[in-house]
Amino acid sequence: MEKVTISPGNTKLKNIASFSLPAVDTCPGSTPDCRKYCNMKMDMLLKPTVRKSYEKNLKATSDTHFKYILTYLLEQQPGRVARFHVSGDFFSQRYINSVFYACRQNPGKVFFAFSKSLHLKQFNFKHKPQNLRLISSHNKGKHRAIVVKRPADTPEGYKLCEGHCGEHPEPGENLKLCSYCWTAETVRVAFWSAKHKSAAKAWQTRKEKNGR
């Protein structure tokens, strides 16, 4: 079985662990804009180690023991909150069932994921565990995430993400971290598209330089 990697956090997620998959290839509900402006696609191109890690995670999902390995690795994470899919999405019912299993086996933790797969008829999300918050990036359902061109375009009732997720400030840091996406009773969150566009531009430039 391929080695499964859980990220301990990143610049945005701070102390929140995450499990990710290759961008685009595991995103059956993605739109043309998603594929064009995907910042994780660029990240995978610029960072071969990240790409290889996500590819190994994907291969591991086909193993019969994957759900048990995922359960154990999530259990070992020191934080109370973890995220699925900084990159990637729910791509098969078998994978969805494995994620649900791992969440149920870690009742003391809270999990969340943004997804464009929730509306797809080939998948069944009805038996989602209570400690997993699924936020639709397809602008449907109780919990939604949208992208805005400018912060001023954030609709009424939506919270503009400031990019500082977490539960506890880091030592010596006066930054107030946000836990809105997994604690609010109803989530309506907006992301500023400038980050996505700049990432896509950088990816395109790199692609042209490489002649691919």
List pLDDT tens digits, range 59-87: 999 999 999 999 999 999 988 999 999 99
Amino acid at site 74? L
- pLDDT tier at 171 (50, 70, 90 boundaries)? very low
Q: How far apart are CA 72 and CA 4, in angstroms?
A: 11
* pLDDT over 80 (residue 195): no
Q: With contact defined as beta carbons under 8 Å apart, do 115 and 31 qualify?
A: no
> Please, which residues have CB within 8 angstroms of residue 155's CB and are 6 or more apart in sequence?
146, 148, 188, 190
Give me the helices (H) in the chain, please.
32-37, 39-46, 48-60, 66-76, 93-104, 180-183, 194-209
Q: What is the mean pLDDT of the chain?
A: 84
Residue 150 has a pLDDT of 86
Residue 2 has a pLDDT of 75
Q: Most confidently modeled of 24-38, 104-118, 184-198?
A: 104-118
Residue 75 has a pLDDT of 96
Instruction: State the average pLDDT over residues 94-119.
Output: 97
Residue 199 CA, chain-centre distance (Å), reads 17
Q: Which of 24-28, 107-111, 153-157, 160-164 has the lowest mean pLDDT?
A: 160-164
Round the CA-based radius of gyration of the chain to a whole number and report it.
17
Q: With contact defined as beta carbons under 8 Å apart, do 181 and 137 qualify?
A: no
Residue 163 has a pLDDT of 73
